[in-house]
């Protein structure tokens, strides 16, 4: 019996959520969006900065801001997310041509984020108590033992369920399959190239594969944990600043 074999799905996910997270962090991310048509591939590149802050006290668990820098066509666009302790998430989207921040409504969370294969809901961080969980077995990914866990959302979601592969040595999620019904897998997320800086670990590469040749890859080019961030960065007024 390997280490952690006797843990149930809730205990395993508690270990995942308990991995130390920096109070604040800044990431520089390169985003590649690949579209396949008639056996031809076309790739667009975007670059954005992501700011994140976690809270020990108060109503919110975390807040994050993504601001696009390149190319010119998306420069200034941003997404602000506030995750409450109860799991509810408020999101606002900003496009310079709109000149105002637009709240992402619940029914819009299934929409594509800036024409990528990530939807708004994928960019929310999930926490304890948001899903019903069942462990369904063990599988190896790149020689490392992972437990497979089915997660059914308790609240409104774009997905029927998610299937997670959790590395049993590092308590990191390595793969996620997204289901729109019991038998219909919509897409798969692969998390790899983990980066550790000052004792904090994050996936360096996130590949969302639609299974039809279309995919979106987020590659972290810079990761700075525990860096002083002004609370103003996570405000609606900062979101619409150019």
Reported as a single tens digit per residue, the pLDDT across 105-121 is 877 788 888 889 999 88
Question: What is each CA distance from 107 to 30, 103, 227, in whole angstroms?
Answer: 28, 11, 35
As a 3-state breakdown, the chain gives helix, strand, coil percent values, each rounded to 5, of 10, 50, 40
CA nearest to 66, candidates 82, 50, 81: 50
In the chain the domains, ranked by start, together with CATH numbers, are 9-239 (2.50.20.10)
**Cβ atoms of residues 119 and 110 within 8 Å:** yes
pLDDT at 21 over 80: yes
Report the C-alpha dihedral over residues 51, 153, 216, 197, rounded to 10 degrees: 40
User: Would you give the distance in Å from CA 35 to the centre of its chain?
Assistant: 21
End-to-end CA distance of the chain: give it in Å, rounded: 56
Region of poorest pLDDT, from 3-17, 49-63, 139-153, 160-174 = 3-17
So what's the pLDDT on residue 5?
A: 63
Q: What is the average pLDDT across 49-76?
A: 93
Contacts of 37 (CB under 8 A, 6+ apart): none
Q: In the structure encoding, which two tokens stand for residue 190, read together? A: 């692969």
Provide φ and ψ at 131, rounded to 5°: -135, 150
Give one word for 61, left, alpha or beta, with left for phi > 0 and alpha for psi -120 to 50.
alpha
Spatial distance between the Cα atoms of 222 and 241, rounded to a whole number of angstroms:
23
Q: Are 33 and 216 contacting, i.e. CB atoms less than 8 angstroms apart?
A: yes
- At residue 1, does pLDDT exceed 70? no
pLDDT of residue 53: 95
Return the number of other C-beta atoms located less than 10 Å from residue 37's C-beta: 9
DSSP H helices in the chain: 9-18, 236-239
Element (H, E) at 81: strand 78-84
Q: Give this prediction's pTM.
A: 0.89
pLDDT of residue 87 exceeding 60? yes
Closest CA to 78 of 61, 60, 101: 101
Tokens coding 223: 């990761």
Q: Tell me how far apart the 2 most distant CA atoms of the chain are, in Å.
A: 58
Q: With bands split at pLDDT 50, 70 and 90, how would you rate the model's confidence at 2?
A: very low
Q: Is 30 exposed, middle or buried (0-12, 13-18, 19+ CB in 10 A)?
A: middle
Residue 65 binned pLDDT confidence (cut-offs 50, 70, 90): very high
């Amino acid at each position: 019996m390997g280490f952690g074999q006797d843990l149930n799905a809730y205990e395993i996910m508690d270990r995942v959520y308990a991995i130390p997270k920096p109070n604040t962090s800044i990431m520089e991310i390169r985003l590649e969006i690949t579209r396949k048509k008639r056996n031809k591939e076309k790739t667009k590149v975007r670059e954005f900065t992501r700011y994140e802050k976690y809270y020990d006290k108060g109503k919110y668990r975390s807040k994050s801001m993504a601001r696009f820098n390149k190319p010119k066509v998306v420069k200034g666009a941003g997404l602000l997310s506030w995750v409450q302790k109860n799991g509810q998430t408020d999101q606002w989207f900003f496009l310079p041509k709109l000149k105002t921040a637009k709240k992402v409504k619940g029914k819009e969370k299934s929409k594509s984020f800036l024409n990528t294969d990530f939807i708004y809901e994928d960019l929310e961080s999930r926490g304890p108590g948001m899903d019903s969980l069942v462990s369904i077995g063990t599988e190896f990914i790149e020689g490392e033992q992972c437990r497979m866990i089915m997660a059914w959302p308790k609240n409104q979601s774009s997905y029927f369920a998610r299937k997670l592969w959790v590395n049993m040595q590092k308590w990191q999620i390595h793969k996620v399959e997204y289901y729109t019904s019991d038998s219909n897998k919509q897409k798969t997320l692969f998390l790899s190239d983990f980066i550790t800086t000052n004792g904090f670990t994050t996936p360096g590469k996130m590949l969302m594969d639609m299974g039809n040749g279309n995919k979106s890859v987020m590659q972290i080019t810079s990761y700075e944990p525990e860096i002083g961030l002004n609370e103003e960065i996570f405000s609606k007024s900062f979101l619409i600043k150019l």
